[in-house]
Structure 1
Amino acid sequence: SALAWVKTKKSTSGPGAGLYRGGTNINDDDNNKQFEIAWHSTEHNTDLWHVYERASQVYGDASYRQEADSLAKVIMEKLWNKAENRFDQGLDDHAKALDTSSWGSIFLNAIGEYDKAKVSLAYTRNFAMSRAGSQGYTPYLTGTYTPTVWFEGTFGVTQAYNVAGNKDEVAASAQRTYPSQGANGAWPYVTNVDEANQMTNAYSVASTAWYLLATAYPDAIWSECRTDKKPDEKKQP
Structure 2
Amino acid sequence: MVATLSTCMKDVSSMLLQLLEEEFNFLINKKDQMNIETKIRNIRFLGELCKFRIAPAGLVFSCLKACLDDFTHHNIDVACNLLETCGRFLYRSPETTVRMANMLEILMRLKNVKNLDPRHSTLVENAYYLCKPPERSARVSKVRPPLHQYIRKLLFSDLDKSSIEHVLRQLRKLPWSECEPYLLKCFMKVHRGKYGQIHLIASLTSGLSRYHDDFAVSVVDEVSTFHHSLYLLS
Q: Per residue, is there more helix in 1 or in 2? A: 2
Larger radius of gyration: 2
User: What TM-score do the two structures reach when normalised by structure 2?
Assistant: 0.34
- The two structures have a TM-score, normalised by structure 1, of 0.34
Higher relative contact order (CA 8 A, sep 6+): 1
